[in-house]
A and B are shown apart, each in its own frame.
Chain A
Amino acid sequence: DQQVKQNSPSLSVQEGRISILNCDYTNSMFDYFLWYKKYPAEGPTFLISISSIKDKNEDGRFTVFLNKSAKHLSLHIVPSQPGDSAVYFCAATDTNAGKSTFGDGTTLTVKP
């Protein structure tokens, strides 16, 4: 049973527009949520995170939204740039159990 799901394997967006990446989870014990970006031949890089006590966290062009009742989080990138093209992973952490679970990833392509 996959506890963290990214249902869109890929997303294509025009440069300057908004990119919205989605993630759903099933375990209500998750209390920290994180987004990572991965370029080919590199390890994932931490982008932004949010605690379950918040519903929004913003860092420059990146905003993460958390809807606990729907067990859903999303990453908004505005404006999207070609350099944002990468695989994006969401991860959810149960801090009591000390476990982080990753989604499958969504490949974002930003077209010039």
Chain B
Amino acid sequence: ETGVTQTPRHLVMGMTNKKSLKCEQHLGHNAMYWYKQSAKKPLELMFVYNFKEQTENNSVPSRFSPECPNSSHLFLHLHTLQPEDSALYLCASSQVHGGLDGYTFGSGTRLTVV
């Protein structure tokens, strides 16, 4: 399997639930990212991992907790979310952080918080 794979594609969760989003890349990339896309808003960077080390936390609330156990996998752990957290969550990877080759994105997880 190639590219960036995100699971699940769709997720509905209550505000008291705990769930995790998973991202996997088999491209040999060294940097991985979580982005949030809300309706009628630009893509917002949430977290950056470079060589498995978190290098960026873009003022994201603590109810979102990333985990990068190895260079191929990235998780986003969710707990006690709010309805305004409903959005498309996109994972991406790149060979070099901030390079000219751009990012490879997954198809995203459409999250609905009820």
Contact = CB atoms under 8 A, between A and B. Distances in A.
Interface string A51-92: 100000000000000000000000000000000000001010
Contacts, number: 65
Contacts of A103: 42
Given A42-B107, A43-B108, A99-B56, 18 more contacts: A34-B100, A34-B102, A36-B105, A42-B108, A44-B90, A44-B103, A45-B105, A47-B102, A49-B102, A91-B102, A93-B98, A94-B98, A95-B98, A98-B55, A99-B98, A103-B42, A104-B41, A105-B42
B98 A102 contact: no
A4 interface: yes
A45 B102 CA distance: 9
Given A43-B92, A46-B104, A51-B100, A98 B42 contact: no
Interface of A: 2, 4, 32, 34, 36, 41-47, 49-51, 89, 91, 93-95, 98-105
Interface stretch (B11-19, B43-51, B72-80): B43-51
Interface of B: 4, 6, 35, 40-43, 45, 48, 50, 55-56, 90, 92, 97-108
Given A34-B102, A98-B56, A98-B97, A43 B107 contact: yes
A51 B102 CA distance: 12
Contacts of B42: 2, 4, 89, 101-105
A47 B101 CA distance: 9
Nearest to A93: B98
B43 A89 contact: yes
Contacts of A4: 42
A46 B94 CA distance: 11
